[in-house]
Each structure stands twice: as C-alpha cells, then as structure tokens.
Amino acid sequence: MIRIPALRFGKPYTSLDKATLIHHATGEPVAEVSQVTGSQIARDVGTCARARKDLAAIPIKDILAIYKKAADYFLNGTLPCGDAELTFADYVRNLSATTGSPMVFCDRNARKVHYVLANIEEVIGGLTRGLDVEALDRGYTLKNGRMQAFYPTTDVFGAVLPSNSPGVHSLWVPTLAFKIPLLLKPGREEPWTPYRVIQAFLMAGMPAHVMAFLPADHAGASDILRLCGRSMAFGDDRTMAPYKNDHRVEIHGTGYSKIILGEDEADNWEKHIDLFVEAIAANGGRACVNASAIWTPRHGDKIAKAIAERFAKMKPRAWDDPACEISGFAKPEVAEAINKLIDESLKTPGAVDVTDAVRGTPRLVKEGRVAYLLPTVVRCETPEHPLANKEFLFPYASVIECPQADVLKRIGYTLAASVITNDAGFIAEAMACPTIERLNIGALPTNRLTWDQPHEGNLFTHLYKQRALQLADGHTAHV
C-alpha cells in the first residue's frame, strides 16, 4: 500500500487520520492518503502572500521552461508518490484502480494533462486571447500602442477537485504560469494526478512552497472555497448552490450539454449518428460536455432507436481492457441509486427507455464488486418530462422533439451546445442565445474542445483583473 502525505506548501505532512483507497474491482487497499483539517488549510493559506511574491519574481520564460520539463517528467519520468515511485503506466493503473474509470480513459485523460503542460504557451495564449506573456512579468503590455495592465485577484488559487473525471485536471494546470500559488484538494479517490503533476513540477524546478496538495473532507473543501481569493470547484447543483453567487468561486457543475438539430438538418439525422454517439458516450459519458439531450424538430423515435442500437453493442469490460467503452462505479450504491431514479422517473407517462427494448437486458449490471450502468437513451414526449433534462454519471441522453422556433427558448442552461444547421437565421439566434455557454455551429460533437478556448470560465480572467495604468516618461514597472 502506498502512503501519500499531504504537501503543505513545501512541507510533507503525515496525518493521524488517513483515507484508505481501495481497488474498485478487488477491494484491496491501494493507498493511504493523509488528510488535513480546515484550520490547517487556513494556516497554510496565510503563507501564500509571500509565496505569490516569490513566484512573481521568477521570469515567465523560466516558468514556461519549467512547464516543458514538467511535461516530460509527467509522461516519461518515474516520480515519487508518497513512499513509492511510479512510472506513467503505474500512475494510470492506480488511477484506474481507485476511481473505477477504465485504464484506457485514464491514459487518455492523463495525456490531456500532459498536453497542457507541454503546450502551455498555446494554452495561455488562448486564455489571455494572445496577450504577450511578458505582461505576466511586468503586469502590463503595450500592444499596438495600447496599454493593457492587470493585477492578480488572489494570493492563492484553490481547486476542489472531483474523483470521477480525471480530464478536469487540465483546467488548473496553467495556474502557476499565471504566477499564482496553487492549492489542490484532490477528490477522495483521485489523489494520483494532482500529486504527480506537483512532483513533475518539483523535479522541473518549481519552488515547493508555491504548491499544496491538501486532501480534506467536505468541510475542508468549504474552507478552501471560503479562504482562497479565487477557486474552482466541481459538484452537482445542490453541492454548488451556496456558491452560485460567489464570484470568487468558478463552479464546474452539471453541464446539460445538448445537440440541437435545425429544421434543415433534421431529415439528415442518419448521417450524424456517429456524432451523437460520440457526444453522449465518449470518455464514459461523465464529462459536463458530454451531451445529455438531443433536440430535433422531427424523427425523434428513429433517432432514439438508432442511438439505442449503437448503445446496445457497448458491454462492460474489465477496467484494464483497452477496448473498454464504459466506466465502472467504484461505489456500486451510486449506480444503484441512479438506476432507481431513472426507473422511478420512467413511471411518469411520456418517456420510454428505448435502449431497454433494443438491448433486452437490464441497465444495471453488477460484476463482483463493480457496478455498471449501460448506455441509455430515453425518448421523451415533452421537454417537461423529469428525464428530459437530466445528466448522469454514465452515457445517458434524452431525445426530444421540439419546433426550431421554440427550441432555444426551452433548452435552459446549456454548457455546450452543438447546433447542426446551415440556416443563417437559426445560427444568428443561437449566437444570441444567453443560456448557451459554449457554442458549436455545424456537425461538431459537444465534447470536442479546443485548448485555445476555455469551455467553462476563463482561468486568466478569474485570476487577474484589468486595470488602467499610466507610466510617466522614464518609468517602468514590474510585478
């Protein structure tokens, strides 16, 4: 068993209370993770003003070089993990073991983290919309004779991370490049990625006191969100409700992402089936950018059936099978609860689980300690049905018929929408739709992201504010 300490801005800390992580399939203990309390977090956050100054003093070109080296260590190095040393393959295996996410997904998501580390300049360019990186050294830049000046909004950025979606780690990775110290609270079952990224940074020369790895309970997570000047958090609507109006917290919650077919493309639905399946089911269907609904003016029954036929071919496979398409639930009770909720909701008239008839076997599958929910498509007669606008931790989507004229008024909050149409008028309406965060026009799946455009929030504008700045002749400034 691997013993993983907390890292309190440079100081490893082994606590008396520890969380034991077990292998989702075998039940064997895999790791023991030290925990910190809210008051320890408060004490550590108090050290960050100095850490930020120290980080600010490192030239950005040096920090970017550290990122490049860290990328290499992350992917190719053997890095400390508590009292063990792990290769990338070991890390992926452990990540899969404790989260239940298949190794093939873990590997793919870990490579996204590597991509951000290796291509940090591109990512920063996207987040800052092409700002000269030297602005991070000086606090301002003169572009085409125009002054652009910024100041940091916080001395530390806190990230309260999930256990079920390793791809999200790419979102916080640029923080140190923005010269803001980083406090990571890993998800209970996923200490692996945050710890490995920190180790890669350390090996590449990043000062230890600008990074913290602080496993904690829910109360500790609340303390992070309370104490950090800026933070991000992942959670469902209920968990995140207290922070809905807190501008300091960037919420990554339920996405309710959708595919919307225009009148002009509805009859061409068959050629988009691959796209539908990818948008709903890619990466295990757990991401907020996975589609959870398809809205179409017509052919709803046919679309649902065609997706169901594809879904019916997806079978549970062992976590280390490279052909794995769906994730297991490390906590079978979660799968059971979701399954029950869907079955209960289907009792409300107006919805049919189309996959049920096509597959002919139950949605919930239990194999040993692991439970699986097989991909599911539900045909809903109206957008008001309880299953029409739901998002679950497995490939799930509803199919709803709705006239094009009404659809944008009725979809509600939508993190990522793919509007498949060539109708200029409908495109213009979609461009103006205030409930869509990320908009894809044309045949693009909702889950296909570009690194130069953040899909949810923008780390740079979260960590920095623009200010007016004038420098008298002969004066310069730096941060």
Partner 1 sequence: MLPDTPGKPTPVTGATLDERIANAKKQLDAHFVETVRWHFNPETGTPFWLEKAKTFDFNPLTDVKSFDDIKRFPIFEDEWLRGGPVRKWVPKAYANRGVYVFETGGTTGLPKSRIVIDDFKIDYEMMSDTLPDQYFPRGSNWLMLGPSGPRRLRLAIEHLAQYRGGICFSLDLDPRWVVKCIKDRKIAEANAYKEHCIDQALTILAGGHEIKCMFTTPKLLAALDEALRNGKLEDKYRSLGKAIPSGGLRSIKATGITGIFSGGTEFTPQFTREAYEEMLDNGEVYMTPTYGNTLMGLACSKPIGPEDGFKITYYAPQPRAVAQVVNPKNYDEIVPYGGTGRVLLTTLTKEFFVPRFPERDEGEREPPYEKYPWDGVSGVRPFSEIAGSTVVGVY
Q: Which residues bind partner 1 (CB under 8 A)?
A: 15-17, 35, 37-40, 42-43, 46, 222, 226, 241-242
Contacts of 80 (CB under 8 A, 6+ apart): 199
Measured torsion, CA atoms of residues 387, 388, 390, 394, in degrees rounded to the nearest 10? 80
State the minimum distance, in angstroms, from the CB of residue 41 to partner 1. 10
10 Å Cβ neighbour count for 189? 24
Q: Which is nearer to partner 1, 35 or 398 (CB)?
A: 35
State the minimum distance, in angstroms, from the CB of residue 42 to partner 1. 4
State the minimum distance, in angstroms, from the CB of residue 389 to partner 1. 23
Distance, in Å, from the CA atom of 341 to the CA atom of 387, rounded to the nearest integer, reads: 10
Q: Which is nearer to partner 1, 41 or 110 (CB)?
A: 41
Q: Give the chain's end-to-end CA distance (angstroms, integer).
A: 44
Among 222, 99, 269, 224, smallest CA distance to 168 is for 99
The alpha carbon dihedral of 283, 285, 288, 294 has a sign of: positive
Q: Are 220 and 37 in contact (CB under 8 A)?
A: yes
Q: Which is nearer to partner 1, 18 or 68 (CB)?
A: 18
State the minimum distance, in angstroms, from the CB of residue 235 to partner 1. 13
Distance, in Å, from the CA atom of 196 to the CA atom of 59, rounded to the nearest integer, reads: 24
Q: Which is nearer to partner 1, 220 or 454 (CB)?
A: 220
**CA distance readout (Å), 407 to 257, 262, 297:** 14, 9, 9
State the minimum distance, in angstroms, from the CB of residue 297 to partner 1. 41
The alpha carbon dihedral of 396, 398, 404, 407 has a sign of: negative
State the minimum distance, in angstroms, from the CB of residue 374 to partner 1. 31
Q: Which is nearer to partner 1, 212 or 291 (CB)?
A: 212
Among 246, 207, 204, 225, smallest CA distance to 157 is for 225
Can you give the length of the chain in residues? 479
Q: Which is nearer to partner 1, 212 or 279 (CB)?
A: 212
Q: Which is nearer to partner 1, 16 or 468 (CB)?
A: 16
Beta bridge partners of 142: 147
Which residue type sits at 112? Answer: K
Instruction: Show contacts of 85-89: CB within 8 Å, 24+ apart.
Output: 86/196
Q: Which is nearer to partner 1, 51 or 75 (CB)?
A: 51
State the minimum distance, in angstroms, from the CB of residue 158 to partner 1. 15
Distance, in Å, from the CA atom of 211 to the CA atom of 182, rounded to the nearest integer, reads: 5
Distance, in Å, from the CA atom of 382 to the CA atom of 397, rounded to the nearest integer, reads: 14
Q: Which is nearer to partner 1, 243 or 394 (CB)?
A: 243
Measured torsion, CA atoms of residues 168, 170, 174, 180, in degrees rounded to the nearest 10? 30
The first and second tokens of residue 398, run together, are: 């509803």
**For helices 192-204 and 60-76, angle between their N-to-C axes, nearest 10 degrees:** 130
Q: Which is nearer to partner 1, 40 or 165 (CB)?
A: 40
State the minimum distance, in angstroms, from the CB of residue 251 to partner 1. 14
State the minimum distance, in angstroms, from the CB of residue 202 to partner 1. 24
Q: Which is nearer to partner 1, 241 or 471 (CB)?
A: 241
Angle at CA of residue 475, ends 471 and 478, nearest 5°: 85
Q: Are 415 and 255 in contact (CB under 8 A)?
A: yes
State the minimum distance, in angstroms, from the CB of residue 13 to partner 1. 10
State the minimum distance, in angstroms, from the CB of residue 38 to partner 1. 7
Beginning with the edge strand found earlier in the chain, give each strand of the sheet holding 140-143 in spatial order.
140-143, 146-152, 464-467
Distance, in Å, from the CA atom of 186 to the CA atom of 31, rounded to the nearest integer, reads: 14
State the minimum distance, in angstroms, from the CB of residue 56 to partner 1. 22
Q: Which is nearer to partner 1, 35 or 164 (CB)?
A: 35
